[in-house]
Chains A and B, each alone.
Chain A
Amino acid sequence: MITAILIAFPFLAALLMLVVPASKTKPVALAATLVQACITAWVIYLFDIYEKESLLANMQFILREEWINSLGISFFIGLDGISLLMVILTNFLLPLIVLSTWNKEIARPGLFYFLMLFMQSALVGVFVSLDAFLYYIFWELALIPIYFIVLLWGGENRIKITFKFFIYTLFGSLLMLAGIIWLYLQTSDGSFGIDSFYAVMLDSTAQRWIFWAFFIAYAIKIPLLPFHSWQPDTYTTAPNAGTMLLSGIMLKMGIYSILRWVLPIVPFAVDAYTDVVLYMAVGGIIYASWIALSQNDLKRLFAWSSIAHVGLITAGLFTLSRTGFQGALIQMIAHGVNVVGLFFVAEVILQRRNTSLISALGGIRTKAPVFASVFMIITFASIALPLTNGFIGEFLLLNSLYEYSYMFAAFAGLTVIFGAVYMLRAYKNTMLGEDSTEGFADLSMSEKLVFFPIVGLILFFGIYPQFIFNLTDESVKYLLEEIANHMALNY
């Protein structure tokens, strides 16, 4: 039941936004996201990490109601360690994202916050769905609000860019839908439930087809190398809150879905295509880092660095090892927190200087020391310095890659060096040096309220990653077992 509340509450709050007077929307939206965060905290408190007898090892708070009987579709949701982790990410970032818009004049605020909260509801839905069809519906529902957010509040060229974004992702989704329908027709009990899907035994040809039908959708969302071309434009054009939603949470939908819907269902195909995916991922890391090196726009720089980071996460997943899975989960949280911080840094600079071009900036540190310190911590986290949240995840991911093949690890490891180069250079050129232009006000109260929790999270997960281990360990073990069982049974 509590899982349903996690989906329903932001949705109802979203509807409320449409009737609240325009001047009150910001506080009401913030209050709603804070309440949602409190509900999430309560769920963490109730969650039993040692449970392992339930569905999918430690799935809890399960709700299964019939929905479309004739098609075997049910309203089937629940939380295990991995889903809960994603829900935590979503619901703790959302208040920060809403707060990041505090000082900004927004046209039609009711509609804006309606779309944000609606998106939150859909994102939670994606992470807790245990029915493939329900999952697909939420997957698509999450796309619509972000499309409108970028279309209505975006910058230059938004119509063309949003359109490309929409077509790209919808193309992937429709392929996935075909895959879902096909799998459904193979289930023994004619159901879309995840248990039925996991029980389907496919021959290797079918697995290969299904793998690509699902994987392309996720590769577009994440995005992986040949499918990435929508991402930098969309991130740059989107209003800042939209970019945060996209990069901080939405792309995790793809990574999470690989764990939940691809690896245990078509393990043979995964095994067969591991190298292909690793080439895509590691190639993406190098390519994106290389391009990031020559970016002059902060937002674009962060967009490209994001491609490099998620490439590494995907690579870790496909090593099919416990270190790889744990590393990916930790890094997903770390990347979510850091990228929201980075884009807010860009936003703060943009608001004060009306530009995010690195060459036009410099010497901000002398005017705004607090801001400069915060940016430094986030930069360190982003280049994975020890004691920041970026370190442990990146370390585990590279470790798992090394166990799989040291060549891949060697090339993927370049991301650390490249990352340090372009991030530190961006920091140096914007924050240090002489300031030739007018003043730069230091952080306001609302901005501090965004940045301090982010810094807190960076340090907390950097020092105590055990929290994520504990939460997800049972689920990860179960997933690996399920994959091993499938492989042993089939071949």
Chain B
Amino acid sequence: MTTLVLLSLLGFLVLFLGAFEQKKAILPVVIAGLSAAFVTNALSWDTSQTFYGMMRYDNYAVSFVGLMIFSVLMIMLLASYHFRNEDSHIADIYALMIFTLVGGLVMVSYASLVMLFVGIEILSIALYILAGSRRMNLSSNEASLKYFLMGAFASGFLLFGITLMYGVTGSFDLLVISDYVNGNEELPMLFITGVLLILIGFSFKIGAVPFHFWTPDVYQGTPTLITAFMATVVKTAGIAAFFHLFDICFSAIDGVWFNILWVIAAATILLGNVSAVMQNEAKRMLAWSSVAHAGYLLIPVLALNELSASAIFYYTAAYSVASISAFAVLLGISQFSNEMPVDQYKGLAKNNPIMTTALVIAMFSLAGIPPLAGFFGKYFVFVTAMESNLNIAVIIAIAGSLIGIYYYFKPVIFAFNQEVPPIEKIKGNAAFNFVLFAGIIISLIIGIFPDLLANLPGN
């Protein structure tokens, strides 16, 4: 709760600093505030408080919130590099990102469906504005509008589902709904429809096939920094909320949703990877890759056993770290240009050893090459799936990973290309270099010692 209050206050403080033209103070305040939030969040470990039946701040919430704060911190550091020459509206952007984080926090700690909806809306509305934050740019506006329309649809489905659920059980409380599911042999059609509508709403939010079609356009049009934000924080919050609900409420009725979700997961993995292969634009490629990763993340939800929570947590952590590195390198290479063809990476290696290392580690981690973090993410997903006998899903995931090698290796191969004139040394500020270093080190450390994170969310 302290974390929630602290983050909300931080958001307003940043807005005020912007209003009073204290531009220099913003970044230090944001970083100090986020670090403080990280600490207060860590202090709630093992306390497991419930707030008026609305929020339950247990270890599951603490670990995911910690991960999201960390990701936002990294992205803020990148922002200081990205906006170094710009001086308009930075405060708004920082503040909106913090509000998104607040939404994310609510999404992973809700104990009532109302709070779930409130969390999703706080997160989404801030994000619609962020997607359009480059106001003079046509594609940014397009992305914002598309994201808004799709998001509104998703929210509609979700809300409809929640309403039906309330109609049948008379409560928004997750535990009451869970008792209702466990206590009744025959569930009314209304309830089952509600479950499926909620499923569709979540699939929209995390970009799972066939509700994924907004992802490439939105990712491409959105400013790169915000894309990094969507790919990491938003995806983490989405999948954590998804699993939280299905784990508590719907585990007893997997007959209703299992087959549908199975098909969604398989299609997401395959279509995401195959489409990513065909992209010539770096951001679109990363967008499709994020679709594919959403598919891998759905497998532990399908398995729904005692390993699922840690598998999802570890996977999102590994994926977030690698994605932030990948987007950081992309930011460094493309500077302010909107065009980001994949062959922009050509000739990177010669003069930019650190950026190249970060790129190689990030791409290898996303591809799942041991002993990097991404490999253990996939590994945990496979173990979780096999524990529940989802052997076919594992084979599909393996096929997906193989296809993934193709497009993850493309930037790496281009980086070492010697036929084009090498890219000049790209100067980053201290924060930028720190993010690159952190990406390399963390991918290696949590890869070599996965125990550090593996059991955090608890069972």
Q: Report B-chain residues with C-beta under 8 Å of the C-beta of A144.
A: 364, 369
Provide the A58-74 mask, 1 if CB < 8 A to any CB of B, else 0.
00000000001111000
Interface status of A177 (Cβ within 8 A of chain B): yes
A163 touches B409 (CB 8 A): yes
Interface status of B252 (Cβ within 8 A of chain A): no
| B310 (CB) vs chain A CBs: closest residue | A70
* Distance to closest chain A CB from B395 (angstroms): 7
A170 touches B454 (CB 8 A): no
Q: How far is the CA of A152 from the CA of B417 in the complex (A)?
A: 8
Interface status of A34 (Cβ within 8 A of chain B): no
* Distance to closest chain B CB from A21 (angstroms): 16
Interface status of B128 (Cβ within 8 A of chain A): no
Q: Report B-chain residues with C-beta under 8 Å of the C-beta of A170.
A: 402, 405
Per a CB cutoff under 8 Å, which of A141, A151, A178 touches B371?
A141
Q: Which A residues from 160 to 217 make CB contacts under 8 A with B?
A: 163, 166-167, 170-171, 174-175, 177-178, 181-182, 184-185
A185 touches B409 (CB 8 A): no
* Distance to closest chain B CB from A323 (angstroms): 37
Interface status of A414 (Cβ within 8 A of chain B): no
Q: Report A-chain residues with C-beta under 8 Å of the C-beta of B383.
A: 71, 181, 184-185
Q: How far is the CA of A116 from the CA of B379 in the complex (A)?
A: 28
* Distance to closest chain A CB from B457 (angstroms): 13
B386 touches A182 (CB 8 A): yes
Q: Report B-chain residues with C-beta under 8 Å of the C-beta of A177.
A: 379, 382
Interface status of A140 (Cβ within 8 A of chain B): yes
A174 touches B450 (CB 8 A): no
* Distance to closest chain A CB from B307 (angstroms): 10
Known contacts being A177-B379, A177-B382, A181-B383, is A136 close to B416, with CB within 8 Å? no
Interface status of B87 (Cβ within 8 A of chain A): no
A137 touches B451 (CB 8 A): no
Q: Report A-chain residues with C-beta under 8 Å of the C-beta of B416.
A: 151-152
Interface status of B58 (Cβ within 8 A of chain A): no
Interface status of B343 (Cβ within 8 A of chain A): no
Q: How far is the CA of A140 from the CA of B371 in the complex (A)?
A: 8
A71 touches B454 (CB 8 A): yes
Q: Which B residues from 372 to 411 make CB contacts under 8 A with A?
A: 375, 379, 382-383, 386-387, 391, 394-395, 398, 401-402, 405-406, 409
B409 touches A166 (CB 8 A): yes
Interface status of B53 (Cβ within 8 A of chain A): no
* Distance to closest chain A CB from B418 (angstroms): 8
Provide the A132-146 mask, 1 if CB < 8 A to any CB of B, else 0.
000011001100100
Per a CB cutoff under 8 Å, which of B387, B394, B449 touches A178?
B394
Interface status of B171 (Cβ within 8 A of chain A): no
Q: Determine chain B's interface SS by DSSP, over half rule.
A: helix
Q: How far is the CA of A136 from the CA of B368 in the complex (A)?
A: 13
Q: Report B-chain residues with C-beta under 8 Å of the C-beta of A377.
A: none
Interface status of A8 (Cβ within 8 A of chain B): no
Q: Report A-chain residues with C-beta under 8 Å of the C-beta of B391.
A: 178, 182
Q: Determine chain A's interface SS by DSSP, over half rule.
A: helix
Interface status of B248 (Cβ within 8 A of chain A): no
Q: Report B-chain residues with C-beta under 8 Å of the C-beta of A151.
A: 413, 416
B398 touches A140 (CB 8 A): no
| A152 (CB) vs chain B CBs: closest residue | B416
| A140 (CB) vs chain B CBs: closest residue | B370
A166 touches B405 (CB 8 A): yes
Known contacts being A137-B370, A141-B371, A185-B386, is A178 close to B398, with CB within 8 Å? yes
* Distance to closest chain A CB from B222 (angstroms): 31
Q: Report A-chain residues with C-beta under 8 Å of the C-beta of B413.
A: 151, 159, 163
* Distance to closest chain A CB from B177 (angstroms): 31
Q: Report B-chain residues with C-beta under 8 Å of the C-beta of A152.
A: 416
Q: Which B residues from 163 to 203 make CB contacts under 8 A with A?
A: none
| B389 (CB) vs chain A CBs: closest residue | A185
Q: How far is the CA of A170 from the CA of B368 in the complex (A)?
A: 11
* Distance to closest chain A CB from B378 (angstroms): 9
A174 touches B401 (CB 8 A): yes
Provide the B434-459 mask, 1 if CB < 8 A to any CB of A, else 0.
00000000000000011100110000
Per a CB cutoff under 8 Å, which of A69, A163, A167, A178 touches B451?
A69
A174 touches B405 (CB 8 A): no
Provide the B300-339 mask, 1 if CB < 8 A to any CB of A, else 0.
0000000000000000000000000000000000000000
A136 touches B370 (CB 8 A): yes
| B414 (CB) vs chain A CBs: closest residue | A159
Q: How far is the CA of A141 from the CA of B371 in the complex (A)?
A: 8
Known contacts being A167-B402, A174-B402, is A181 close to B370, with CB within 8 Å? no
* Distance to closest chain A CB from B271 (angstroms): 20
Q: Report A-chain residues with C-beta under 8 Å of the C-beta of B395.
A: 178
Q: How far is the CA of A181 from the CA of B387 in the complex (A)?
A: 10
Q: How far is the CA of A70 from the CA of B401 in the complex (A)?
A: 25
| A171 (CB) vs chain B CBs: closest residue | B402
* Distance to closest chain A CB from B305 (angstroms): 12
A181 touches B454 (CB 8 A): no
A178 touches B382 (CB 8 A): yes
B370 touches A175 (CB 8 A): no
| A69 (CB) vs chain B CBs: closest residue | B451
Q: Report A-chain residues with C-beta under 8 Å of the C-beta of B370.
A: 136-137, 140-141
Q: How far is the CA of A181 from the CA of B386 in the complex (A)?
A: 8
Q: Report A-chain residues with C-beta under 8 Å of the C-beta of B382.
A: 177-178, 181
Q: Which B residues from 246 to 287 make CB contacts under 8 A with A?
A: none
A68 touches B387 (CB 8 A): no
Q: How far is the CA of A170 from the CA of B405 in the complex (A)?
A: 9
Q: Report B-chain residues with C-beta under 8 Å of the C-beta of A171.
A: 402
Select the residue from B391, B401, B451 with max chain A CB neighbours within 10 A.
B451
Q: How far is the CA of A167 from the CA of B398 in the complex (A)?
A: 12
Q: How far is the CA of A159 from the CA of B135 in the complex (A)?
A: 41
B379 touches A140 (CB 8 A): no
Q: Report B-chain residues with C-beta under 8 Å of the C-beta of A141.
A: 370-371
A167 touches B405 (CB 8 A): yes
Q: How far is the CA of A170 from the CA of B371 in the complex (A)?
A: 14
| A143 (CB) vs chain B CBs: closest residue | B369
Q: How far is the CA of A138 from the CA of B394 in the complex (A)?
A: 22
| B451 (CB) vs chain A CBs: closest residue | A68
* Distance to closest chain B CB from A15 (angstroms): 13
Provide the A118-161 mask, 1 if CB < 8 A to any CB of B, else 0.
00000000000000000011001100100000011000000100
Q: How far is the CA of A174 from the CA of B454 in the complex (A)?
A: 21
Provide the A93-121 mask, 1 if CB < 8 A to any CB of B, else 0.
00000000000000000000000000000
B450 touches A68 (CB 8 A): yes
Known contacts being A151-B413, A178-B382, is A68 close to B454, with CB within 8 Å? yes
A174 touches B409 (CB 8 A): no
Provide the B335-365 mask, 1 if CB < 8 A to any CB of A, else 0.
0000000000000000000000000000010
Q: Report A-chain residues with C-beta under 8 Å of the C-beta of B364.
A: 144
A70 touches B402 (CB 8 A): no
* Distance to closest chain B CB from A212 (angstroms): 12
Given A167-B406, A170-B402, list of 18 further CB < 8 A pairs? A68-B449, A68-B451, A68-B454, A69-B451, A70-B455, A137-B370, A141-B371, A152-B416, A163-B413, A166-B405, A174-B398, A174-B401, A178-B382, A178-B394, A181-B379, A182-B386, A185-B386, A185-B387
- Contacts A/B (CB < 8 Å), 13 sampled: A70-B451, A140-B369, A141-B370, A163-B406, A163-B409, A174-B398, A177-B382, A178-B382, A178-B386, A181-B379, A181-B386, A185-B386, A185-B387
Interface set of B (CB-CB < 8 Å, partner A):
364, 369-371, 375, 379, 382-383, 386-387, 391, 394-395, 398, 401-402, 405-406, 409, 413, 416, 449-451, 454-455
Interface set of A (CB-CB < 8 Å, partner B):
68-71, 136-137, 140-141, 144, 151-152, 159, 163, 166-167, 170-171, 174-175, 177-178, 181-182, 184-185
Question: Considering the complex of A and B, which 4 residue pairs feature the smallest CB-CB distances, nearest first?
Answer: A174-B398, A140-B370, A137-B370, A68-B451
